[in-house]
Amino acid sequence: MTPHELEATLHDLPAGQAVHVPYDLFSELFPPGEPDSEARQRALQLAMANDCFIENRTQKQEILFVKKQSGLRLYGR
């Protein structure tokens, strides 16, 4: 998956659905990857531009990009 493909996927993602990105793929999309703060910031900017939020699942070694539900306000998101 390329950054452009991820952006297109997030754009078309239905509300409440998520895209699972394993840490190894996250590193390719947002070098140098988790836990780099600049990589996290770039990922967050992409998520926000597509009405998503990010959930970092450290135990599963994956990042979730979750499309916000319309009309639902999540604290801190």
Q: What is the pLDDT of residues 4-32, one digit of tens each?
A: 999 999 999 999 999 999 999 999 999 99
Give the count of domains, the chain: 1
- Residue 12 belongs to what domain range? 3-67
Identify the CA nearest to 68 among candidates 4, 9, 18, 21.
Answer: 18
Any domain includes 15: yes
Tell me if the pTM is above 0.85: yes
Q: How far apart are CA 13 and CA 11, in angstroms?
A: 6
Q: Is the pLDDT of residue 1 over 70?
A: yes
Closest CA to 52 of 21, 29, 34, 77: 77
3-state helix, strand, coil in the chain (%, to 5): 40, 20, 40
Would 77 be classed as within a structural domain? no
Paired residues of 67 in beta bridges: 52
In a domain, 76, yes or no: no
Q: Is residue 73 part of a domain?
A: no
